[in-house]
Amino acid sequence: MNAHERTFTHPARPTAVITGIGACLPPHVVDNDTVVARGDLRTDDAWIRDRTGIARRRHAGPGTSTGDLAVGAGRAALASAGDHHPEMLLLATSTPDHPCPATAPAVAHRLGLGTIPAFDIAAVCSGFLYALATATALVRSGTCSTILVIAADTYTSIVNPADRETAPIFGDGAGAVLLTAGTTDEPGAVTAVDLGADGSGSDLITVPYGGSRHPHRLPPPEPDARYFHMRGRTVYAHAVRRMTQSAGSVLRQADWGPETVRAFVGHQANQRILDSVGDRLGIAPAHRFGNIGELGNTAAASIPLVLADPAVHQAVAPGERSLLTAFGGGLTWASATLNWPAAVPRSEAPPAGPDTTPLCTPDLSRSHPWTASTTAS
Ligand code: COA
C-alpha cells in the first residue's frame, strides 16, 4: 500500500453516500421445471440447482419493459431516501427499451425529474458498479450532489428460451440507489472503486445480430443470432479470476483486510462462482450474501437487488464493511468497498408502461420476500 492509497480513506473524505435503496421485481415467479418445459430443454431441476444454485427467477411479461422496472426501482429508492430531487440519472442496462435512444431519459421523465441529465451505461452485468463508480466520481468532483443510479435488465427479452445454457440462468428485475454527497466515515459511503475491461473477450457474451456489425437490413449470420449467447465454461473461468483480482485490489485500496468484511455481495451469476471467489478472497461464508436461488442472474440488477433485500439489512449493521464485485460481458469487471447503508430499502411493483398494459396485477407485498441467504445457512 502506498501513501496515496492510505489517504484514500483516512481521514474522512468527501464521497458519494447511499441514502436511498429501491427494488422492483416482476411478479411472475418461474421455477426450474417451468423453464425446462417451456424451452423443451434437455436438462432438469436437479442439474440447474446443482450447477448454478438457481431454483426460480422472475420473468417480466410481454407488457413489462426494462424501463418499467427501472421506474419502479427508481421510485422506490427516492421514497426510501425521503423527498429528494436528484440532479442526474444513470441507468445501467444491456437490455434497453429500444436500440435507440437510451432508456434513461424516458425513465427520468416518467419519474417526474424534469430535464436532468440522464444516460445509459452499458457494461452488462458489471453495469451497476460501473454506474456507481461514475456517479461517485461526479459527486466527489462537485459536479452533482445527488444522483439516482438504477440498474435494470429484462434478459427474457434477449435469451433464447430453447438454449439450455442461458434460459435457466437469467431472470428480470431492477434495483436502484440514491447517492448523496457525504464523507467516507458515514454509513452508505462508497470508499473505493476498481474498474477494468478486456475487449479481447468481447465475443464470449454477445447478441450477434441487430447492431451495426450485422444490421437488420442484412440476413442474420446464424438463425439464432438475434438471441443472447454466452460461452459459459470460458466465461466462468474469467469471472472467477477477474472478480477475485478486482475485489482484492479494491480491498487493498481501502486498506481493509478480507477478515473485516461483514457483507460480501458478488454478481449473482452462478453460486459456484460466488463460492470460489469468496473462498479465494478469504471471506467467511457467514458474511456472503446473495439471492441467486430466488432470482437467478438478473444481470446489472443483481447487486442492487441484494442491497435492497430486507433480510440482508437484518443481518448487516449500518456502517459495517461491505465488498461488492461484478463481472460481465465486454468483458468488464468492477468492485467497490462500501460502508453498509443505513437507508431502509423500499420495493415497488412495475408500473404500467407508457404504451403497453402489463398482463398482470403485481402485488409485491405477497410475492416478497425474495429472501437473500448467506452461503452458510
Ligand atoms: N443442463 C444440462 N447440461 C448442461 C446445461 C444444462 N442446463 N448447460 C450446459 N450443459 C452442459 C454443457 O453443454 C456441457 O456439455 P458437454 O460437456 O457435452 O459440452 C456440460 O454441461 C458441461 O458444461 P460446462 O460449461 O462445464 O457446465 P457448467 O457446470 O460450467 O455450467 C453454466 C454451465 C453456463 C451454468 C456455467 O458455465 C456458468 O455459470 N458460466 C458462467 C456464467 C457467468 O459467469 N456469467 C457472468 C456473466 S453474466
- 233 CA distance to ligand 1 centroid (A)? 6
pLDDT score, position 267:
98
pLDDT score, position 202:
97
Residue identifier of the C-alpha nearest atom 7 of ligand 1: 164
Q: What's the whole-number average pLDDT of the chain?
A: 92
pLDDT band at 62 (very low <50, low <70, confident <90, very high): confident
Q: Which atom of ligand 1 lies nearest, measured to the CA of 165?
A: 8
Lowest mean pLDDT among 152-156, 260-264, 370-374: 370-374
Q: 101: cis peptide before it, omega within 30°?
A: yes
Question: Could you tell me which residue, 371 or 271, shows the higher pLDDT?
Answer: 271
pLDDT score, position 11:
81
pLDDT band at 4 (very low <50, low <70, confident <90, very high): very low
To test the ligand 1 pocket, which listed residue (233, 242, 268, 295) has its Cβ within 8 A of the most ligand atoms?
233
Helices (H) and strands (E) counted in the chain, each on its own, are: 12, 16
> Who lines ligand 1 at CB under 6 A?
43, 47-48, 51-52, 125, 164-165, 168, 205, 232-233, 235-236, 239, 269-270, 273, 297, 327-328
Mapping DSSP to helix (H, G, I), strand (E, B) and coil, where does residue 334 land?
Answer: strand
Lowest mean pLDDT among 38-47, 112-121, 163-172, 353-362: 353-362
Contact between residue 293 and residue 55 where contact means Cβ atoms under 8 Å apart: yes
pLDDT score, position 373:
54
pLDDT score, position 356:
56
pLDDT band at 315 (very low <50, low <70, confident <90, very high): very high
Contact between residue 155 and residue 300 where contact means Cβ atoms under 8 Å apart: no
Whole-model pTM over 0.85:
yes
- 253 CA distance to ligand 1 centroid (A)? 34
User: Rounded mean pLDDT of 23-47?
Assistant: 96
Cell of 231: 460461452
pLDDT band at 355 (very low <50, low <70, confident <90, very high): low
In the chain the beta strands, taken as DSSP E runs, fall at 14-24, 28-31, 56-59, 88-92, 118-121, 146-154, 172-183, 190-197, 205-206, 229-230, 263-266, 289-290, 321-328, 332-339, 346-347, 373-374
- 225 CA distance to ligand 1 centroid (A)? 19
Domains plus CATH for the chain?
14-344 (3.40.47.10)
User: What size, in residues, is the chain?
Assistant: 377
Cell of 301: 440488477
Q: Which atom of ligand 1 lies nearest, measured to the CA of 168?
A: 7
- Closest by CA to 149, choosing from 139, 159, 164, 141, is 139
pLDDT tens digits along 166-197: 999 999 999 999 999 999 999 999 999 999 99
pLDDT band at 375 (very low <50, low <70, confident <90, very high): very low
pLDDT of 370 strictly over 70: no
User: Rounded mean pLDDT of 197-202?
Assistant: 98
